[in-house]
Structure 1
Amino acid sequence: EVISRILERGVHAMQADRATLSSLSDDHVVVEATHGRDGQVTWVGQHYSLDYFAGQPLVQKAIDTMQPTFGGGLASEKAAPEFREAIANVRHVAVIPLVHGGKAIGMLVLSRYQDRPFTSDDLSALTLLGAISGLALRNARLYEEGEAARKRADETAARLRAAVEAAEDVASQVQLDQVLGRLLERAVALVGADGASVARLEGTDMVLESTTSGAAVGTRWPIAPKVLAGVKTGKSVELTAAEYTGAPEGLESIVQPFRRFLVAPLAIGGETIGLLAMGRRKDEPFDPVAVQSLQQLSTLGALLLRNARLIAQAQEAERAKSEFMSVAVHELRAPLTVTGGYLAMALEGGFGELSEPLKGVLQTAQRKTEEAKTLADELLTVARLEGRALKPSAELFLVSDVVHEALVRARPRAELSKGTIKADIADDIEVQADRALVGKILDNLINNALAYSDHPPMVRVTGRRDGDQVAITVVDDGIGISSQDQGRIFGRFARGTDRRVLEKPGTGLGLYLSRGLAEQMGGSLQLESSRPGKGSTFVLRLPVGVP
């Protein structure tokens, strides 16, 4: 618009009939603006080869010398067809080259239809008009370049935001199948594909782990040579249908609908752990900006995929271990039960009278057998807990009842240690949980409180409502837990490092199992406080009972 106004003013100032401004590049000329008394502007935006200058000596001279040139009419027979009629009426022209950085970047052509030639008296005005026009053309170019750069930057930023959002979405998943599904879903949306797959690499083949269609998962495919070359450089590879060859026999129908393919390596630290392949039904190239965004997604996606695979492997190993432990414990309990039975019969005189030394030996064997059975039971519970085979019930019961039952079971042990156990719980507090499992947790907490004390222990159990939960607190005045042990006591097979703890028999599974059981019932178990020599406070939280 600015250039058009300049040309309009120039036509009037130079008493010309038309002014045309064109830009020059290495191989063509573009008509940027034109203004004439007749108002015709049909040439704007059209591109022409620089070869046209060869037939217009006046124009060629101005460009070569980078000086304004005057003369008669232009050679209409050498001009582009759409120019010929207009050029035929021109009697005189002035060609002003627009120079920037020692190079002609455009030209301004003024035409007169009357027999009034341009003279040296017009030179200063023409030079000024050319300078203004050149500045306007330069500014217009810079503006267009800036707008184009801003648009590209906006598009790139939008794509990168989409890639980040996609990566965050994928990162919100942990399970391998969920990560694979989200990765495919986001990749397809990011590049505008119609289908996709993720594969792991095995030599020069790939094995499909997941596809958007759900077909061919687990099948083995050869990797195209062009894709292998791309994998080595870590760059995405685009292929046509003709280049995507080597589909396994019987699986050709999976790739036949697609005309374009994009394969991105999933690499971490220089190691390619998989391939992300996308297909498009239309034979259209993928947008380079989208491919760049896919590169961002695939980089983070590779990390997330590797982590998900490691988690899946760890879960499978944990499942196998739990199954083995369950089988092993079942096999162990049978001979322990038989051994315990025979020892009990012998001690009761079932095999005749026993001497005192022999009776003492058998009593020791009986105690150790019972300890082994307790360990076996705990290991079995661990196996069921970790293998997700433990399904707690959801009973409605009074907290005071289950605590009273636990105190009854613990009282003989308390009497042996000359300890005291008390409870302070209202009779109307109910929880919704597995009564047997809650009893087992309380047994562990109370027995620990009685066992780990260097004086007659004092144990107090209280209960109160705490929002939508019930908090059952077990407080003791025992030896306490050191700060270095407090962070590890809920670990599997974890025991305190205090000498007085290690002197007591124990498996290190009690607190681990208790916390796991509490969480299985929708609750929690925490060490609220503990100080060496001052005792500990544990809090068991369970869902409040809903009638």
Structure 2
Amino acid sequence: MTYRRPYSVPDNELLRLEKLKDYQILDTHSEDTFDKLALLAAQIFNTSSAYINFVDKERVFVKSNVSMLLMDDVPRAESLCTIAIKNDNVTIFTDTLTVPELISNPALPIDDVRFYAGAPLKSPEGHNVGTICVVDSKPGEATEEQLTMLKTLASIVIDKLENRLRYRKSIESQVNLMNITLHEIKNPLASIKLANEIISKSPQSVERMTENIYSSVSRIQSKLSELLKQSELEDKDMMLSVEEVDLKEMFVRLLNNFELLALRKKQVIEFHCDENLPKIEADRTKISDVLHNLLSNAIKYSYHDTTIKVTAREAGNYVHIEVKDEGQGLNFSDMQKLFTKFAKLSSTPTGKETSNGLGLSISKSFIELHNGNIYAMSPGKDKGTTFIVSIPFKFNKTEELTEISEYN
């Protein structure tokens, strides 16, 4: 065993602490599963004490305690586990009083701990987050078979933690998928409500609004079907259904859906599009959701009697889309967390509308799946905001798969 001084930390300390945090094991109650493993370790070595410990930044948290001592944690400098996590094999001291480096460290309790054997709890990434160790107040010996069994117990602890982590991530993935789907359903529901109000105020628009209602209902059915399908997949990443999309036609449909909402605030929506704008290869529903969200936000956060300008133009191999409003604008703090889920921004709806803080984060993920980009510009508070979206005309599926792979 290569011995290192106890006050030094592993080279991968930051990554190690991140992995320990991911396990969410610190400051949890004792559990029968872990306690049985610690007890088995004590029985294998025939020692008076055994522990399952996790080494945090400044302390060692005691998850399982098979001893007469009552303690939940100890300072990191006072634990031999601080040394053990810096070794990939079992760290063993048959008699601590014969090790000069330990004797010279007054913080270590070597008068009470004469025999120590600790196997690191190594994560699949190679981070030693803690130990399963056996301790005795008198010197002792250990056979190779005992040390091998201690390493096996350490691997069982890690397997347990990894299974919990996978389960938790699976649940989080399902919840995120559900949130995304519910958010996407909100848009067509809003379109149905607007179309119904337009029909009640303007009977001659029945034919046009009926088509919008039918389209919105179809989108809801599609989203629910997609949710059921994706919930059955092991890979929860969103996949795209790519087809040719006429953006000009899509914008006209969206503007028809939003005309009543804008009129309520006496807002004017100006739309400018290149006459010969080529069609793009994209997922029609997801791009529509993005544009719907940007236009909805522009109306929601803009003041009454203002103008919203929407433009779409060709820019090299990309279509360049801008949604510019004369609303409340963004401050520096807003810009830092703009596309974060459930972010609380300084702007508030000007017509008592509601917001769940998911729209922009979902829009960003949809645009990035298309190998595009989305960002915002604002001169400052009360000076308006411009959202810019760039999407390639040709969709490169290889790039999409590469990005998904890198994300995983």
TM-score normalised to structure 2 length: 0.46
Where is the strand percentage greater, Structure 1 or Structure 2? 1
Choose 1 or 2 for highest CA Rg: 1
Q: Which has the higher contact order (CA 8 A, sep 6+)?
A: 2
